Amino acid sequence: MKNTLKFVAAAALVVCAQNALAQKGETVKIAWIDPLSGLMAPVGTNQLKSFQFFAEKFSANNPAGVKFEIIGIDNKLSPTESLNALKSALDQGVRYITQGNGSAVAGALIDAVAKHNERNPGKEVIFLNHSAVDPDFTNSKCNYWHFRFDADTSMKMEAMTTFMADKKDVKKVYLLNQNYSHGQQVSRFAKETLARKRPDVQVVGDDLHPLAQVRDFSPYIAKIKASGADTVITGNWGSDLALLVKAANEGGYTGSFYTYYTGVSGTPTALGSNSAGRVYQIAYSHYNMGGQMDRWTADFKAKFNDDFYTGSVIHIYTALGEAMAKAKSTDPVKVAAVLEGMKFKSYNGEVEMRKTDHQLQQPLYMTVWQKADKKYPYSPENTGMTLAPVKTFESYVSSTPTSCQMKRPG
């Protein structure tokens, strides 16, 4: 009897050990679906390198003991191409996808993933949204299988206009944005929050332009100057911001820019030193975060001669490692159940994947374009300039309510 009990106890310990390490050594494939061609190719190329770089870093050290592998697929910034990419990823046995450039693309993928999961129980997929910031994705269009690791447009505008409320030199604002859901939402929330916090500010222009198609922004700069605007608010990114600020410099516009994506490929070079003190960025990270982030940024630059700026990549790997360890599995069904509501420490402090809508709650930082110095030394694109932090907004300041009525499986 004693021997039997010993055998049972030993067997139980083995089972427990196996369960504790059930996922250890597994390779988790993540399909990256974003542009590698067209005007936004520099952004996509940088972000693919970012995902690959941190796949290596986190494969070497994560609590689940898993390995991460990135499968990069060029979607040409097209929803249709993205759906083809999703099918290709599914055919390769991928259970996790990530995307972030273009909310039209993100919307198509959210719908496609939801339909796939409903029709294919046991083969569920999780969509890890690294940068697509249309608020609808965590409100009216929220979905259980979608998790956003960037701050959405409403959160960023809440923080941005809180900062602008104290800037008495802001009197006349021009809104210039890309003509798709993200740009339209930037315009909408800018008008709503300015009316609430600075009713004295005049919105003297509100233009939308085609996404990733404009090569010469000088006509827009002429309109901005003619309006008398002292400030431009724009959610533009990639070439649409780089070419805009280039046209502003060449056209002699001396007003301020309040942006979301100054640090993204091409824009630092386009800004140069002419825009010091006049260009602001609201974001969940910046170039001078300190600590481990500075070491990673330096390593990235040494390896690629490029700048790391998509901090949500780190959030994603950190969250996956912890969720898979707690779930003792890489199965998306089990991982999703742990991810929602999960709090974890990242490079910008403790963050939380809000359970009600799967929107990450995190601090935001207002930074200003200025000359790099000893205190803030990192210089993107070797410009001699940097984005220096001027104000931090804790999660509760930028957090916005959600109307999400989450439908959970089962």
Closest C-alpha among 204, 201, 212, 152 to residue 178: 212
Quote the tokens at residue 270: 């386009």
Strand partners, 30: 70, 96
Is the separation of the CB atoms in 257 and 234 below 8 Å? yes
**Cα–Cα dist 158/56, whole Å:** 35
Q: What is the pLDDT of residue 22?
A: 66
Strand partners, 29: 69
**What are φ and ψ of residue 300, in 5° steps?**
-60, -45
pLDDT tens per residue, the chain (410 residues)? 545 444 444 444 444 444 555 689 999 999 999 999 999 999 999 999 999 999 999 999 999 999 999 999 999 999 999 999 999 999 999 999 999 999 999 999 999 999 999 999 999 999 999 999 999 999 999 999 999 999 999 999 999 999 999 999 999 999 999 999 999 999 999 999 999 999 999 999 999 999 999 999 999 999 999 999 999 999 999 999 999 999 999 999 999 999 999 999 999 999 999 899 999 999 999 999 999 999 999 999 999 999 999 999 999 999 999 999 999 999 999 999 999 999 999 999 999 999 999 999 999 999 999 999 999 999 999 999 999 999 999 999 999 999 999 999 98
Q: What is the pLDDT of residue 410?
A: 80
Spacing of C-alpha 199 from chain mean position: 30
C-beta atoms surrounding 144 within 10 Å: 18
Domain count, the chain: 2
Task: Answer yes or no: is 384 within a domain.
Answer: yes
DSSP per residue, 81-106: HHHHHHHHHHHTT--EEEE-S-HHHH
**Cα–Cα dist 71/78, whole Å:** 18
Q: What is the pLDDT of residue 320?
A: 98
User: Does one domain contain both 210 and 339?
Assistant: no
**Cα–Cα dist 184/186, whole Å:** 5
Q: What is the pLDDT of residue 20?
A: 54
Quote the radius of gyration of the chain (alpha carbons, Å).
22
Q: What is the pLDDT of residue 191?
A: 98
User: Does one domain contain both 162 and 263?
Assistant: yes
Q: Coil, strand or helix: which one is 150? A: coil
- Find the CATH number of the domain harbouring 91: 3.40.50.2300
**Cα–Cα dist 163/3, whole Å:** 71
Buried b (16+ CB within 10 A) or exposed e, 268-289: bebbbebbeebbbbbbbbbbbb
Q: Where are the alpha helices (DSSP H) in 228-373?
A: 239-251, 267-271, 291-304, 312-327, 332-339
**Cα–Cα dist 36/52, whole Å:** 14
**Cα–Cα dist 70/224, whole Å:** 42
**Cα–Cα dist 313/174, whole Å:** 32
User: Does one domain contain both 393 and 252?
Assistant: yes
User: Does one domain contain both 246 and 393?
Assistant: yes
Is the separation of the CB atoms in 383 and 408 below 8 Å? no
Quote the tokens at residue 27: 């390779």
Amino acid letter for position 364: L
Q: What is the pLDDT of residue 23?
A: 82
**Tokens 């500010």 appear where?**
201
Q: Which residues form the domain of 265?
A: 154-289+363-398
pTM assigned to the model: 0.94
In order of 5, 228, 233, the CA distances from 11 in angstroms are 10, 78, 64
User: Does one domain contain both 191 and 312?
Assistant: no
User: Does one domain contain both 251 and 316?
Assistant: no
Q: Coil, strand or helix: which one is 67? A: strand
Amino acid letter for position 315: H
User: Does one domain contain both 296 and 283?
Assistant: no
Task: Answer yes or no: is 409 within a domain.
Answer: no
User: Does one domain contain both 269 and 307?
Assistant: no
User: Does one domain contain both 30 and 115?
Assistant: yes
Spacing of C-alpha 157 from chain mean position: 15
